[in-house]
Every structure is written in C-alpha cells, then in structure tokens.
Amino acid sequence: LSACSGEQSALAPGGEDAATIARIFWVMLWGAVVLWLAVNLAVYLARNNAPRRIGRRAANAVIIGGGVVLPLAVLTPLLIWGLAVLPDHRLPGEGLTIRVTGEQWWWRVEYLPQAGGEPVVAANEIRLPVGQRVTFELGARAVIHSLWIPALGGKMDMFPGRTTRLSLRATEPGVYRGQCAEFCGLSHAWMAFRAVAMPAADFAAWLEHEAGPAALPEGEAAMGAEVFAREGCGACHTIRGTEHAGRVGPDLTHVGSRLSLGAGRLPPSPANFADWIAEPGAFKPGVQMPGFGHLPRADLAALGTYMAGLR
C-alpha cells in the first residue's frame, strides 16, 4: 500500500506510458483476484462436500476445461490486449532530445538543441515540458545503469559504449523521483534524481536560463569562489561564465537551483553543500570526489554559500 502513491510510484502516473502501465497492472490485479476467489471457492467446495464418485468423462471434462480451456480463454485475450496497449518506448519524440549519461553515481544531463550546436549541460535533475514526447539518449561511462522515472514510464538500461533510447511524455506537471534501476556499485541506492515536468512555456524559459552563465558571486559567496579556484575544484567541475571547465564531475553552473544535491542525496542548503564538500563519502560511499574536510570551517561555509547561490 505504501507504494501506491507518492512521487516515485508507477501507480500514481504523471505520464502517458506510466498511465498505460498502471492500467495493465490494475486489470491484471483484478483478474488475479477473481481467479484467486474462484480457486478458493473450488477448494472450499471440495473440502466441505462428501467425496463422491464421478465418471471418467466428467473427470476428463474437469481437467481439460479447468486445465486447458480456461487458461487459454483467459490468457490469450490478456496477452493480445497487453501487447496491444504496451507502451512503445521507441516512439519518436517531438523535438526535444535529452542525453543522459550514467556516472559513478550521478547523472550527466545534456539538452540537445534542435538546430544543432552546443548542448545545454546540467546534472542530476531532468526537466521536461508537459505534453511533449521527449527522446532520451542514454549512455554510461563505466558500468551499466538504468534510467527509471516510475511516475512517467518504464525503465531503460544505460550501457558504456552504446546508445539506448527511450521516449516519455509527461501529462501532469509535477516533481517526480527517478532512481537508477540497475545495480552499479556501492552507492547505487543513492543514485537518484528529480524529474520536473513543467508547462511548455515555463520549460522554454527555464532552458534559456539554464543555458546562460552562472550568477556572479557577492559577499561570502565571492569568498567561496576564491576557495573554489584556489583548491582546484575547476579541474573536475564546470561553472560556465568562469574559467572552470572540468568535465569529470557534475556541471555546477546552476547547481543551487536544483532540487537536490549529490544526485537526490540532500536538500541543497548552504550547510549541506559545506558538509558534502567536507566529506562526500559520508553521504555517498565510494564517491570519486575527494573530501575537503581539512579546509577551515569558514572556507567550507563560504563554498556552501557560493554553491547554493549558483542559480
């Protein structure tokens, strides 16, 4: 029952494919309930009636009717119907393509422009316009991951060196939780993200802002930007609008505007950013990012303020 609602439930659909999957589930469930009741009724009648002899022909009729005809009559239409309505994850998209790459343990997210050119790079959050079928181009860096947003549709594996595709159409604006669905190592369970389905106009405005450079830091955040540069964080992270252009870790250009930090791990508050930077492994065992717990607390706090202000 606890899995029938909420932001990560295939039974609380916010998308076309998930709605179909939920419908198949409920039809199967009620069908199974009817059959279960029928079987239990048969058991009840058999136990509560005195045994009596029946002829071979009647016995054969029971075996053939209940063992062959009934399953065929129930399962054949169910199979035909199930295959007919099964969502086609290869349906062509309607313009927008989002490339998602599984990393250890986070998501590289790139919005590919329709007219060609540089993709808009983000991470650990997927935004998509409501009503439009969006194509996902999936890959992975080192091991197999799987992209799954249960409230929007089915899952699709992500392989190193191979591109898989999935298309999804959100029908309800909302924030849904996505989760890696293929065991990929120590922090597989912490490899999550938020999928935000937005009205088309809001999405267009968001994407335009996301494509822009980072906000200029002021006050404590400017101090944080100095620490960021001094400690060499830019070797792994990009902040567009600055000289930092690392590609190893997540793009941080607008990291403060994301709904979570560490791929679904923590709410993105300045204090959480500071704690994360001090000891990422405490939150995500096995993470590749080294800890910076040796920095003075004031430097960590300034970094946290800088990160949270990157909106």
Short-list 158, 106, 105, CA closest to 286: 105
Contacts with ligand CUA: how many residues (CB under 6 A)?
9
Nearer to ligand CUA, 141 or 209 (CB): 141
Is residue 183 within the footprint of ligand CUA (CB under 6 A)? yes
Is residue 250 within the footprint of ligand CUA (CB under 6 A)? no
Is residue 251 within the footprint of ligand CUA (CB under 6 A)? no
Residue 185 CB-density burial (10 A; 0-12 exposed, 13-18 middle, 19+ buried):
middle
**Minimum separation from the CB atom of position 108 to ligand CUA (A):** 12
Nearer to ligand CUA, 22 or 180 (CB): 180
Q: Which two tokens stand for residue 291?
A: 């800890």
CA 307/CA 275 separation, integer angstroms: 12
Nearer to ligand CUA, 180 or 227 (CB): 180
**What three-state secondary structure class fits 139?**
strand
CA 234/CA 244 separation, integer angstroms: 4
Nearer to ligand CUA, 111 or 148 (CB): 148
Residue 57 CB-density burial (10 A; 0-12 exposed, 13-18 middle, 19+ buried):
exposed
**Minimum separation from the CB atom of position 191 to ligand CUA (A):** 4
Q: Which stretch binds ligand CUA (CB under 6 A): 46-54, 76-84, 175-183, 225-233?
A: 175-183
Is residue 240 within the footprint of ligand CUA (CB under 6 A)? no
Nearer to ligand CUA, 179 or 253 (CB): 179
Nearer to ligand CUA, 105 or 228 (CB): 105
CA atoms within 13 Å, Cβ hemisphere of 26:
10
Strand ranges for the chain from DSSP E:
97-102, 107-112, 120-123, 125-129, 133-140, 145-148, 156-158, 164-169, 174-180, 192-198
Given 19, 100, 147, 180, the residue binding ligand CUA (CB under 6 A)? 180
Residues in 126-145 at the binding interface with ligand CUA, rule: CB under 6 A: 145
Residues in 91-130 at the binding interface with ligand CUA, rule: CB under 6 A: 102, 105
Residue 177 near residue 36 (C-beta atoms within 8 A): no
> Residue 19: in which H helix or E strand, if any?
helix 16-48
- Contact positions toward ligand CUA, by CB under 6 A? 102, 105, 145, 180, 182-184, 188, 191
